[in-house]
A and B are shown apart, each in its own frame.
Chain A
Amino acid sequence: MGQTLLVIVGGCIFITSSALGSWVRFLHIIIFHMEYIFRAENVDKKYDKHQALSNVSVSIPRQGIFGLLGPNGAGKTTFIRIINQIIAPDAGKLFFKGEKLKPSHISSIGYLPEERGLYKKMKVGEQAIYLARLKDVSSRDAKKLLKEWFEKFDLMPWWDRKVEELSKGMQQKLQFIITVLHKPDLLIFDEPFSGFDPININLLKEEILKLRNNGTSVIFSTHNMSSVEELCDHIALINNSEKILDGKLENIKRAHADKVFSVSAKAFTKPFDAVFHPLADIIDKYTIKDGASKLRVRLADAYNANNLIEHILPNLQLLEFKEELPTMNDIFIKTVTGKNPGELKKDDLKAYMGMNQA
């Protein structure tokens, strides 16, 4: 009797636990794919003798702007083309919304390539409808959607004109509209701002943020680090076919903090050098007013900010104390070349250029 009970209870526990296990796995998948719209695992791509991507794994979070960074020739465009199924990887797995990447996913992705253009002799409206139809939008829907976008971008009067009659800026706007028209879940912009004037860059940024807020995920590839800081939530840095950096922008910046602090203070008697010694070195110093100075100091590895404040307070009047986070520009240069921007020499630049043009 007792044995039977034991067996039953044991069986129940086994069933529950295994059920639980699969539930957990299921939930994990759900949560995981809720979080990421696109994942690449261990992607390899080789052109003849040139390794374009080696063992790259990247996860693109949902509803965010993901910055894909890297020097020229690092493999960004190859990676983007792989996402768009323009080329196939030699090895690796690709998932879109948790499913294996397949041709039908194309209509859920919008892509604005760096090398972009339009049929010059074709009429604006006709061309936009044609390209929308290639993304599985019916011509009636396309016409309706296009009218809304054309109104917003002041392109309506150009509907029946040939593309070659448009200015370069207007052509860029048209290309942007074509990219987003079919309401893709994932948008990929490769250098979207090149060729735009500042007013239109702003317009475009607003539209990209609006799309993000409406739930679209965006991959954003650029060399313009200030727009990366402005727009991106996550970044990945590809150099020489490998991913060398990946994560939330904020975390990356914090991780690359160089223990540099900006300090404003009035020294009492001792000179600044003596005040900070031996905890920190002064990188930079200039006087502001009333004997107050602004300093940039680098903290030695063994200490933290609290140590430094305790050490200096007796000898000066502290006006401001702030940690300096590195800019994306600095992080980029430092990670790619292994040197701080100020330390870069001509030879390093040469070596770096050669490295990426192999």
Chain B
Amino acid sequence: MNKILTIIQREYLSRVKKKSFIVMTILGPILLAALMIVPVFIARMADSVYEVAVVDDTRFFYREFKDANDVEFTDLDVDIDTAIELMKMDKFDAVVHIPTTAFQAPSTLRFFSEKAININAKLYIESILQNEFEKLKMARAGIDPEVLRATETKISIQAIRLLKDGHEQTDYPEVSMGLGIFSGILIYFFVFLFGAQVMRGVMEEKTSRIVEVIVSSVKPFQLMMGKISGIALVGLTQFSMWILLTFAIVATVQAVMPESFTFTPHEQIYVSSAQSMNPAELQEHVQRIEQHNTAAGQVMEALSAINFTVMILSFVFYFLGGYLLYAALFAAIGSAVDNEADTQQFMLPITIPMIFSIVMAQMVMNNPAGSVAFWLSIIPFTSPIIMMVRIPFGVPLFDLWLSAGLLILGFLGTTWLAGKIYRTGILMYGKKISYKELWKWIRYR
């Protein structure tokens, strides 16, 4: 036992002290944050203005072209050929041509450009013209646009789940989906990242020929488990550092720009809904709720509905379970081969269930309580990913315990099997290994 601790200590420290680990730990959350912030920044940093000349032969629409963020319109009362000449002289980026025939046939509308077309500008122009043509048609049909606008209704049904304990809970499947697929992919990524580290560690010991020195002091199984446990601790360290750092970054950003993070909590609005409300107050109240029903507000509410303690605890469990299940197999592969190139043929059976899980995640999210979701979240090889996808939607306790129990049995099984391959494999040099050979090793006493 003492020796296993010594091995775990070495495996852990030698990895945590590496520069690449420190860099990844710090860079991980920053990259993640950057992934979300940078696109916003880039979108805001309006790059050069796109100048569009409007050649309106009908002289009917040109007033409707209002400058937008990065598109500017110029009305040109010239014929189209002149306008195109002007564009070629770099006066404009593009030309919109509305011929007189446009009233009868909108398909004669043209958008000319010398450079690659700015798709946003094109879409914007299309929406303007579409709007105007609709108005025109309505006027012809004698429909008052104001009346039409008043009849427009946007419907978004609030999904409410009746929980067994009598509570109601608003469901936001979109947010649960996002969270589910995110944690599923994170598990996938972690299992492969650290599983491959186990494999490479085993191969390092085998190819550097230190393994025989070590197994003359400790049992091969102890060495394998020491390595797997040490790397699991590395994974947990990295994960918790990421969570801490992400919280730290979010807290800092909140402190620096408080206004972008102020959301009125849902409860406060309902609390103020006193029974006695005059119509004016009611009107105001409804408006406030409607205001609240913006996308950001919904995400915030959905997130607050999800139990993050359960999420994080089950993430840690399924990460560890999935990792242990696969790491033992990775160790077995590392022990069986002499170099990295030979690992490919044995990697396939490990990779397939993992990729299959990711592929099936979409189907599981469409029906998180269906039988496909149930079975895939029970079977140990797919359960780490699929169960994480299911958890944000809410999972019956029975499923959770069954899946957890089977996952533990699963990793005990793979570890036992891998141990048998490992103890023979690490001492076998210069032999091309086949599956038949591995099967022989499993049966050795």
Contact = CB atoms under 8 A, between A and B. Distances in A.
Interface centre among A85, A87, A90 (most CB of B within 10 A): A87
B208 A117 contact: yes
Contacts of A131: 213-214, 217
Interface residues on B, range: 20 to 34
Nearest to A111: B216
Given A86-B427, A119-B204, A119-B208, A130 B213 contact: no
A47 interface: yes
Given A90-B445, A130-B6, A117 B209 contact: yes
A116 B218 contact: no
A115 B429 contact: yes
Interface string A108-139: 01011101111111100000001101111000
A85 B208 CA distance: 21
A87 B6 CA distance: 22
A130 B204 CA distance: 17
Contacts of A135: 217
Contact of A84 (B204, B216, B423, B444): B216
Interface residues on A, range: 20 to 34
Contacts of A118: 208, 210, 213
Interface string B7-35: 10010001000000000000000000000
B156 to A, nearest CB: 58
A87 B422 CA distance: 12
A113 B208 contact: no
Interface centre among B7, B213, B215 (most CB of A within 10 A): B213
A117 B208 CA distance: 5
B59 interface: no
A133 B216 CA distance: 13
Given A86-B216, A118-B208, A133 B6 contact: yes
Contacts of B66: none
Nearest to B214: A134
A172 interface: no
A134 B6 contact: yes
A175 interface: yes
B212 interface: yes
B216 A47 contact: no
A273 interface: no
B213 A122 contact: no
A81 B219 CA distance: 12
A106 B217 contact: yes
A88 interface: yes
A79 to B, nearest CB: 14
Contacts of A81: 427
A178 interface: yes
A48 interface: yes
Contacts of B210: 116-119
Interface in A118-164: 118-122, 130-131, 133-136
A121 B217 CA distance: 21
A113 B213 contact: yes
A119 B212 CA distance: 12
B212 A113 contact: yes
Interface string A40-56: 00000001100000000
A161 B444 CA distance: 41
B111 to A, nearest CB: 61
Interface in B398-445: 423, 427, 429, 440, 444-445
B9 to A, nearest CB: 9
Contacts of A119: 204-205, 208, 210
B161 interface: no
A111 B213 contact: yes
A117 B214 CA distance: 10
A183 to B, nearest CB: 14
Interface in B307-345: none
Contact of B209 (A116, A122, A136): A116
Contact of A48 (B204, B212, B215, B440): B440
A131 B14 CA distance: 14
A115 B10 CA distance: 22
Contacts of B215: 86
A117 B429 CA distance: 14
A1 B10 CA distance: 80
A134 B212 contact: no
B10 A130 contact: yes
A134 B209 contact: no
Contact of A120 (B7, B208, B212, B445): B208
A126 B256 CA distance: 46
B137 interface: no
Given A116-B209, A116-B210, A109 B10 contact: no
A122 B444 CA distance: 34
A113 B216 contact: yes
B3 interface: yes
A134 B3 contact: yes
27 contacts: A47-B444, A85-B216, A86-B216, A86-B220, A87-B423, A87-B427, A90-B445, A106-B217, A109-B216, A111-B212, A111-B213, A111-B216, A113-B216, A115-B209, A115-B429, A116-B212, A116-B213, A119-B204, A130-B6, A130-B10, A131-B214, A134-B3, A134-B6, A134-B214, A134-B218, A136-B3, A178-B213
Interface of B: 2-3, 6-7, 10, 14, 204-205, 208-210, 212-220, 423, 427, 429, 440, 444-445
State the 3 A-B residue pairs at the shortest beta-carbon distance, nearest first: A117-B209, A134-B217, A117-B208
Given A85-B216, A86-B216, A113-B213, 5 more contacts: A84-B216, A90-B445, A121-B14, A131-B214, A134-B217
